[in-house]
A and B are shown apart, each in its own frame.
Chain A
Amino acid sequence: MNQNAPNTNGFLLKVEDLKTYFPIKKGLMRKTVGFVKAVDGVSFAVKPALTFGLVGESGCGKTTVARSILRLIPVTSGKVTFDNTDVLSADKLRMQNLRRNICLVFQDPFGSLNPRMTVGSIVGEPLKIHKNVTGAGLTEQVCRILSKVGLSTDAINRYPHEFSGGQRQRIGIARALILQPKFVICDEPVSALDVSIQSQILNLLKDLQDEFSLTYLFIAHDLAVVQFSCDIVAVMYMGKIVEQAPVGEIYSNPLHPYTITLMSAIPRLKAPGRPPKKQTVGEPPPMAGQPAGCPFHPRCPFADGRCLVENPTLSPVPGRPEHLLACLHSK
């Protein structure tokens, strides 16, 4: 279906030094007194037909990255290139074109579907807006995508409340895929679903990726889900990527203390190769008053004087060009 245009640099999406700051306004004159650095210098690149995972705890900036890529919120600085187009400087027409190729699947299957619209009009709306398809042609395409995501075509005249969480998530996926995008951002697509439904949706996303050679940006907090779904994983902490590596590498050889903490904290069924349990201390500090130096130092068991002042940069681990790490203690 989708022909991913061969890209000069081999990447479909490239994010360079992306910064999204939210101003903190105080007082009568609403003076800007500081910034919440929600995304603070994030760089990564996604190859076509692969899944890039963004992992981290709530508030670490994963969703803000996704929204910044789509320019749903104003970006402070940085560069986003999608398919050889500069996203952040694109004009309205170009942006519309881009949004046809980058679609979003949301976390909450209850909040993201309009309860007053039928499933047919929810799924068909992007087609109407972007491609001016109406009438029988529209119905036909909606039916086709609904059967692709595993829903019966009589869903078309029903309303979202008649469906369960898993089915609603399928509706959301159908809406994202109807424009035949190249790139799909899945923002916590299964975290609101029951266990027995999660695996259905994860398999569906994989099947659709194979069929349409889709590229995913997969945002999640569940490391086991990420391991199943992603090819490359980036771990975010307080607006920064602290470690990034291919999925096999990061799970067998996590290097950043935060990644190790995350992995050992997850209560998971017994599985081989699980790192031993570590006591985690503290909570992430508030985003507004970020500590100087390495953002993880207040919770890090290895932090020393250098970590309090120096801010580590993301750089390759010696001997492993694909494994990037931002830690002053890496050797």
Chain B
Amino acid sequence: MSSPDKLLEIKGLCVDFFTEAGIAHAVQDVSFSVKKGGTFALVGESGCGKSVTALSIMRLIPDPPGKIVAGKITFNDRDLLGLSEKRMRAVRGNRIAMIFQEPMTSLNPVYTVGEQIVETIMLHQKKAEAEAWELAVEMLERVRMPNPRQRISEYPHQMSGGMRQRVMIAMAISCRPVLLIADEPTTALDVTIQAQILDLLDDLQKQNQMSILLITHDLGIVEERAEDIAVMYASRIAELSDCPSLFNQPLHPYTQGLLKSMPRLGFTEKRLYTITGVVPDPLHFPSGCKFHPRCPIGCNDKRCQTIEPVLREAAPARFVACWYAPGYEKPDDPKL
């Protein structure tokens, strides 16, 4: 089912963490695809499995305790999970690059930023050192670092959070990746800096024809920047859709609750809508639909309490895992 415009396709991904307290199913049956040149957003609260999904694509799940137990990840018609570690290394950081939330902890404090960018370039491209340094300066220029020639020989601690994130992006794009995984790229930054970094990513995407997998908890960013969105809840995708339709008419009660509970500029309601309860612990997931204890519709429904709904097409190109979503009306489940 490989289609020409799909750059990355994930099918039925399951990741388990084998801990002393038991097996935590961090990602369960996650499937989605990222279009060439498009931005796909993976949204959810902390612990829902969005970062683990990203790390699985890079094959960076710490093993042990983690393990990809099922699923298929196809990138440019190549099966990433079947690649040898040596082959994977040629993909990682080269064809697929990743930027992380905390630029301070992902940069090495004892090397200058130039040395770190040059290391990436020389690892993946046949370039002499002098050439690599020139390219590094060029990359810093592209991410609009002020005084790149001077900054390149500075250490990460001499820079502000926004500049460090620019260095991370420069490093990530230095090998012209076709897919950039941005894991909460702006969460640690101030809003005015956040807007600059997101604009920069937009520009780079257009120049390089790069796809972006954007992982975030901020629905505001998603509405502004992404074309497609998957909302994850408790290790599964609750809703998968294109952005405008999801924001116009969310179908899953969790997505509806999330959108209603966010305070918005310009709205003057006296109280905020709340989703009751807390995110479940991956070691003790509730039975049935994992959202049912917090769900305003299905909390007393026997079906929701016992059988977990799978992602099903509710409307053209819109997928929802909810017994109450359209498309689920027909009692076609043999267990019912």
Contact = CB atoms under 8 A, between A and B. Distances in A.
B266 A194 contact: no
Contacts of B176: none
B194 A265 contact: yes
Given A267-B221, A268-B220, A195 B193 contact: no
A12 B46 CA distance: 39
Contacts of B220: 266-269
17 contacts: A57-B190, A57-B193, A164-B278, A165-B46, A194-B279, A195-B219, A195-B258, A196-B279, A199-B261, A199-B272, A200-B274, A206-B271, A222-B263, A227-B266, A266-B220, A269-B247, A273-B266
Nearest to A258: B192
Interface string A275-319: 001011101000000000000000000000000000000000000
Contact of B192 (A194, A248, A265): A265
B129 interface: no
A199 B224 contact: no
Given A196-B275, A221-B190, A265 B195 contact: yes
Contact of B266 (A167, A199, A221, A251): A251
Contact of A269 (B196, B262, B271): B262
A58 B190 contact: yes
A251 B196 contact: no
A270 B257 contact: no
Given A228-B263, A269-B247, A199 B279 contact: no
Contacts of B153: none
B265 A196 contact: no
Nearest to A270: B223
Interface of B: 45-46, 160, 162-163, 190-196, 198-199, 217-221, 223-225, 247, 257-259, 261-276, 278-279
B196 A196 contact: no
Contacts of B268: 227, 248
Nearest to A264: B195
A221 B186 CA distance: 14
Contacts of B257: 196
Given A225-B263, A281-B196, A283-B160, 20 more contacts: A164-B278, A166-B278, A195-B219, A196-B258, A196-B279, A199-B263, A206-B270, A223-B265, A262-B191, A263-B265, A264-B195, A265-B192, A266-B265, A267-B194, A267-B198, A267-B223, A269-B223, A269-B264, A271-B267, A280-B196
B278 A224 contact: no
Contacts of A203: 271-272, 274
